[in-house]
Amino acid sequence: MLPYLLKRLGVAILVALTVSLITFSMIYLSGDPAVALAGESATEGDIERIRLFYGYDRPILVQYLDWLGRALQGDFGQSHYLKQPVAEVIFARLPTTMMLGLFALIFALTLSIPLGVLAAIRPNSLIDRAALTIAVIGQAMPSFWFALTLMLWLGVYWRLLPITGSDTFWHFVMPGVALGYYITPAVMRLTRAGMLEVLTSDYIRTARAKGLRPMTVLFKHALRNAIIPVVSLAAVQFGFMLGGSIVIETIFAINGLGFLAWESILRADLPMMQAIVLVLSVFYIVLTFVADMLNAWLDPRIRVA
């Protein structure tokens, strides 16, 4: 398993470097970053001073390496807008997004895995059709509309939950549901498909022939095998969710990374934008790496050569 691990690690690092390069070069999309920073009423002198101050006059490669070097040490520069080190701000807001993401993941898994299993046990039954309907609706519903609707019904009409802010645990329920619903269809479908396939396996027939109880057959034998691809999918989807949290966070005014990203985009806070994209991308890369490892570990055929 070790050579496999090392190879995947190598690829992950390469990808992270490439992403950093792309992220870095993003600021040049708007043309001269010094001009963008200076604003509309700036003079030539202002622009030149800004250029020198931020080092935009140096060759691009040097700028990139300098930026990368500092980023690896945890220094993402200074936020143009907040006058604070970017790293500080990001790591202050990161836990909130993590909590939102975790909440969403738990909600999604709690809903989709049991549904997927039930749907597979009774294909074409009522519960199967219900599960499929939930999946189909989930894929078609824009998350922001779902979030607003939830906010309206649960927050305003029925007054069950708080609608904005991120102070208490209850503040995360609606955003968590809105965000988690996004990945429920994929996870449920994969669970269902995996279970359906596994249930026709010969070793399930053997398990029944041994007289094992139906629950044992289902969970100990079937699900254990069917869940392997679901685990890596869930990890990957968690990464997607973190990227997509920007919409949910802005709606519910959750003070996380997504909200911060939106604010900094509005304010053209370039260092902050770059850093957030890089952080989220690296996190996603780490997640996929972890998912690969989990995958390998769960399957003895890979784990024990």
Partner 1 sequence: MAVTEAHTADAAELLEPTPGALMRGRIFGHAGLLIGGAVLVTIFLMALLAPYVAPHDPYDQVLSRKLIPPVWFDDPKTTWEHILGTDHLGRDYFSRLLYGARISLLIGFSAMLISGVIGTTIGVLAGYFGGRVDMVANFIITTRLSMPVVLVAIAVVSLVGSSLNVVIWVLGLLIWDRFAVVMRSATMQVRNHDFVASAQALGCSTPRIILAEIMPNIANHLIVVATLEMAHAIILEAALSFLGMGVQPPEPSWGLMISEAKGLMFFEAWLIFIPGAALFMLVLSINLLGDGLRDVTAPEGRN
Partner 2 sequence: MAERILEVEGLSVAIPVPAGTLHPVEDVSFHVERGETVAIVGESGCGKSLTSLAIMDLLPSKARRTATKLELDGRDLTGLSEREMSDIRGNRMSMIFQEPMTSLNPAYTIGDQLTEALLRHRDASRAEARERAVWLLEKVGITGASGRLRQYPHQLSGGLRQRVMIAMALMCGPDLIIADEPTTALDVTIQAQILHLLAELQREFQTGLILITHDLGVVSRVADRIAVMYAAQFVEEGTARQIFEAPSHPYTQGLLACIPIPGKTARGAHLGSIPGIVPSLIGHIEGCHFADRCRHAMDKCRADDIAMRRGAEPGHRYRCVLTPEETAANMARQEREQRQEREAAQ
Other residues' Cβ atoms within 10 Å of the Cβ of residue 2: 6
Q: How far apart are CA 299 and CA 248, in angstroms?
A: 35
Task: Among 152, 170, 297, 299, indicate the residue that binds partner 1 (CB under 8 A).
Answer: 152
Nearer Cβ to partner 1 (16/82):
16
Other residues' Cβ atoms within 10 Å of the Cβ of residue 39: 11
Q: Which of 33, 5, 4, 8 is nearest to 273 (CA)?
A: 33
Nearer Cβ to partner 1 (14/60):
14
Decide which of partner 1, partner 2, none touches 19; Cβ closer than 5 to 8 Å per partner kind. Answer: partner 1
Q: Which of 32, 67, 64 is nearest to 51 (CA)?
A: 32
Task: Among 35, 127, 196, 290, indicate the residue that binds partner 1 (CB under 8 A).
Answer: 196
List phi, psi (to 5°) of 65. -60, -40
Which amino acid appears at position 214 of this protein? P
Give the x-and-dash track for 15-44 against partner 1 (CB under 8 A).
xx-xx--xx--xx-xx-----x--------
Return all residues near 87 (Cβ < 8 A) that are at least 6 apart. Answer: 74, 75, 76, 275
Task: Report yes or no: 206 and 183 within 8 Å, Cβ to Cβ.
Answer: no
Within 201-260, the residues that bind partner 1 by CB under 8 A are: 204-205, 208, 214, 217-218, 222, 239-240, 242-244, 246-247, 250, 258
Task: Report yes or no: 174 and 213 within 8 Å, Cβ to Cβ.
Answer: no
Nearer Cβ to partner 1 (202/305):
202
With b for 16 or more beta-carbon neighbours within 10 A and e for fewer, the 109-140 pattern comes to: bebbbebbbbbbbeeeeeebeebbebbeebee
Q: How far apart are CA 150 and CA 153, in angstroms?
A: 5
Interaction of residue 127 with partner 1, rule CB under 8 A: no
Task: Among 133, 137, 206, 297, indicate the residue that binds partner 2 (CB under 8 A).
Answer: 206
Tokens (6 digits) for 208:
């029944």
Nearer Cβ to partner 1 (108/217):
217
Interaction of residue 125 with partner 2, rule CB under 8 A: no
Task: Report yes or no: 188 and 131 within 8 Å, Cβ to Cβ.
Answer: yes
Interaction of residue 266 with partner 1, rule CB under 8 A: yes
Other residues' Cβ atoms within 10 Å of the Cβ of residue 30: 12
Nearer Cβ to partner 2 (78/201):
201
Interaction site with partner 1 (CB under 8 A) = 11, 14-16, 18-19, 22-23, 26-27, 29-30, 36, 121, 123, 136-137, 139-145, 148-149, 152, 156, 192-193, 196-197, 199-200, 204-205, 208, 214, 217-218, 222, 239-240, 242-244, 246-247, 250, 258, 261-262, 265-266, 268, 273, 276-277, 280-281, 284-285, 288
Interaction site with partner 2 (CB under 8 A) = 201-203, 205-214, 216, 221, 224-225, 298-301, 304
